[in-house]
Amino acid sequence: MAAAAPPPPPSPAPEAPNDVPQGSTPRGHPLFARIRLAHPTDVPHIHKLIHQMAVFERLSDQCIATEASLSSTLFTSPPFQSFTIFVLEVSHTPFVEHLQYNNPAYPPITKVVNLDLPINDPDRDLFRSNGGVLGGDACVAGFVLFFPNYSTFLAKPGFYIEDLFVRECYRRKGLGKMLLSAVAKQAVKMGSGGFAGSLVMLSVLMLAPSSSLR
């Protein structure tokens, strides 16, 4: 008697939807992250982030910045020639493109972080990007402020990071490192010698422990 034929091979699993950046496959609870140049309309959020950073460092009594003082000093020069801010946004859905944020000096970069559990953000409405008027559910989750410096040892320009901060509920997700990497890549793109490594790390470690940058 002939042996029974082997069972047919299993059907291939369906492909994941192709609505995320190439190389990123959503699973569990995908979190879309975007880094872009700050816009003057971001000042209210930047001000709130600075206040949270001051509280984190137990220096709130020394934080006297106001929205008016930030508006009058942060956007007086072209990007990367003076004080520059990258804003970190997060969203549960793909970002809605808007010309206001597509600055030719720095096209926004996006990434998908695949999480096992959803994030509970009690301040989502407070930090909703541009008050939610542009659509989508994007909110501001952090920022990095940096400015040009110069290495005499290398005889090359670079960037010095003054502040890097990620809101508490979004820490330990790799978003702080994403901000840091964005500054480093911009320094390389501009042909500089990188950024002030030891000084940058000192600033970062003071503002957010290494565990909050993962």
Give this prediction's pTM: 0.76
Every domain of the chain and the residues it spans: 29-201
**Cross-strand bridge partners of residue 65:** none
Question: pLDDT band at residue 98, thresholds of 50, 70 and 90?
Answer: low
* Tens-place pLDDT, residues 164-174: 999 999 999 99
Residue type, 124: R
- The predicted-structure confidence for 120-154, as pLDDT tens digits, reads as follows 999 999 999 875 445 578 999 999 999 998 888 88
Phi, psi (deg, nearest 5) at residue 172: 60, 30
Angle at 179 between CA 175 and CA 181, to 5 degrees: 110
| Band (79; pLDDT cuts 50, 70, 90) | very high
The CATH architecture one would assign to domain 29-201 is 3-Layer(aba) Sandwich (3.40)
SS3 content of the chain, % helix, strand, coil (to 5): 30, 25, 45
